[in-house]
Each structure stands twice: as C-alpha cells, then as structure tokens.
Amino acid sequence: MADGREYRIDHPDFVLAPVSDVPQITIEEPDGRVRFLSVLLITSVECVAPADTAGSRAV
C-alpha cells in the first residue's frame, strides 16, 4: 500500500472486488477482520507460490 502496509491474501476466495463507483477491494483476514482497501493506493501486487506443507505432495 502507499503507506507501506502489506496484506497477504492466502486464497482468492478472501477477496471481493465489486463493481462500484469507488475502486476498492475488500479482504477478509484469517482472524476474521475485514479490510476495505482503496485500489488507487495499491502500489504493487506480488503473486507467490503457496508454501509446501509437510506431508503434502502435488500429484
């Protein structure tokens, strides 16, 4: 974000980007808090591979 804060979104289901006059996205954090973020203040987006958990295998 423009103010230096970062938000991790672990799954696309945790993001809502409705069509509206105000460009914003809504994210739900793992602890249940909801954040409303202005799209105009997002300075970059980084897509990273999910962490491999012990005992899981990709088939």
pLDDT tens readout for residues 20-38: 888 999 988 888 889 999 9
Is 53 domain-assigned? no
pLDDT (0 to 100) of residue 52: 62
Average pLDDT, the chain: 82
Mean pLDDT of 32-50: 88
Residue 23 falls inside a structural domain? yes
The answer as to whether 52 is a domain residue is no
Supply the range of the domain harboring residue 28. Answer: 1-44
CA dihedral 27, 31, 32, 38 (to 10 degrees): -20
Between β-strands 15-16 and 34-38, what pairing exists: parallel, antiparallel or unpaired? unpaired
Q: 3-state SS of the chain?
A: CCCCCCCCCCCHHHEECCCCCCCEEEEECCCCCEEEEEHHHCCCCCCCCCCCCCCCCCC
Could you tell me if residue 55 is inside a domain? no
Q: What's the structural domain count of the chain?
A: 1
CA–CA distance from 21 to each of 6, 18, 29 (Å)?
24, 10, 24
Q: What is the mean pLDDT of residues 30-59?
A: 77
